Amino acid sequence: MKRQIDKEIVLSVKNLIVKFFTKNKVVNAVNGINYNLYKGEILGIVGESGSGKSVNVLSITNLIRPPGKIVEGEIIYDSKNILNLSSKELRKIRGKEIANIFQDPMSSLNPVLKIGTQIIESILKHTNINKKNSIKRTLELINNVGIPSAKERYFNHPHQLSGGMRQRIMIAIGLSCDPKILIADEPTTALDVTIQAQIVDLIQDLKIQYNMSIIWITHDLGLLAGIADRIIVMYAGRIMEEANVIELYENPKHPYTKALLQSTPDLNDDSEKKLHTIEGYPPDMTQEFVGCPFFDRCLYKENICNQNNPDLRQVNTAHNIACHIDI
């Protein structure tokens, strides 16, 4: 049974539009999405590659770089629009109040610096803790993320650690300043299934310990079943469906969500039947859509679907979909 989440909003994304201006084309990466993150919840955001989920969360701390540009929208945190903050004001939030864990720790960790140095750097940058106490805090963090022999690992370089340990170090850096929001962008994708399970359990435990809200980005709906309180399904830079985790799995309403769930392996099913596949290909994101972007791949489509792009509408208090058809 999922617990009831606190309905206090800690982050609000409003009409976010992000485009990438290449030499010959404009890629419409995120197309007017709206959602809230509530205190103490794990919000899962799921979708195929190219659905806009990572661009969405990079926008939260204004990390979109040229040729990308946030062309419209608001991201409200602590009563302020993050997109209007100065670089100095943003630096006070990034890493301290809103922290990121990325998919590949080797591209995020500095290969020539010791692990301890990299964690301390974050602490000294964002807090008033002195060098002596920051070392103590670093050893505590290494221990808290489940890495044994913290004093020895403190002096290791990233290449001396396994992939799972490097990801735990990234989590330690993310937690170093007690953030209110942790953004985990596919943090287990590059790990084997055993280590994935350990990282998932670790982040769930740390969420309670540090009283955080978490946004978890993934393409794996099966993974979210065990950790998320609420799920947003994205496709072509749009939100297709939003519901609490039980509602989404037991009563999916959008054809795309249904197709994703049918494509997810069931470990309890020992039959040899083939997995369902979603026919066709993701849409060309350089095109402007008049109708639903899922139209060409949808099994339930009707004429209206290709004529009007559906707005996100409420099905019940725990469920929203962007679809003309009731299925």
Rounded to an integer, what is the distance from CA 181 to the centroid of its chain? 11
Residue-level pLDDT at 1: 40
| Residue spans per domain, the chain | 9-97+180-321, 109-178
For 9-97+180-321, CATH number?
3.40.50.300
Residue-level pLDDT at 194: 84
Q: Compute the C-alpha angle 57/63/67, nearest 5°.
A: 110
Q: Where does residue 40 fall: left (phi above 0), alpha (psi -120 to 50 degrees), or beta otherwise?
A: left
pLDDT over 70 percentage in the chain? 95
- Whether 245 and 224 have beta carbons less than 8 Å apart is answered as yes
The CA distance from 260 to 221, in Å, is: 8
Which pLDDT band, with edges at 50, 70 and 90, does 272 fall under? low
Answer yes or no: is pLDDT of 57 > 70: yes
Give the burial class of 136: count Cβ atoms within 10 A of its Cβ; 0-12 exposed, 13-18 middle, 19 or more buried: exposed
Residue-level pLDDT at 195: 83
Q: Which residue type, as a one-letter code, is found at position 179?
A: P
Q: Where are the beta strands (DSSP E) in 22-165?
A: 26-38, 42-46, 68-77, 80-81, 98-101
Answer yes or no: is pLDDT of 221 > 90: no
Residue-level pLDDT at 269: 59
Mean pLDDT for 225-248 is 95
Average per-residue pLDDT for the chain: 91
> Percentages helix, strand, coil for the chain, rounded to the nearest 5?
35, 25, 40
Residue-level pLDDT at 7: 82
Mean pLDDT for 85-95 is 91
Give me 307's structure tokens. Answer: 């004529």
What are 96-119's pLDDT values in tens digits?
999 999 887 788 899 999 999 999
Residue-level pLDDT at 187: 86
- Global pTM reads 0.91
Residue-level pLDDT at 322: 97
The CA distance from 158 to 116, in Å, is: 10
Residue-level pLDDT at 243: 97
Structure-token match 């990325």, residue found: 102
Residue-level pLDDT at 5: 53
Residue-level pLDDT at 319: 95
Q: At what angle do helices 115-126 and 131-144 cross, to 10 degrees?
A: 120
Q: Compute the C-alpha angle 10/199/206, nearest 5°.
A: 45
Residue-level pLDDT at 2: 46
Residue-level pLDDT at 222: 84
Which pairing describes strands 230-235 and 42-46: parallel, antiparallel, or unpaired?
A: parallel
End-to-end CA distance of the chain: 26
Mean pLDDT for 176-190 is 89
Answer yes or no: is pLDDT of 267 > 80: no
C-alpha dist (Å) from residue 168 to 88, 143, 211: 28, 10, 18
Answer yes or no: is pLDDT of 190 > 90: no
Answer yes or no: is pLDDT of 244 > 80: yes
Answer yes or no: is pLDDT of 247 > 90: yes
- Whether 237 and 33 have beta carbons less than 8 Å apart is answered as yes
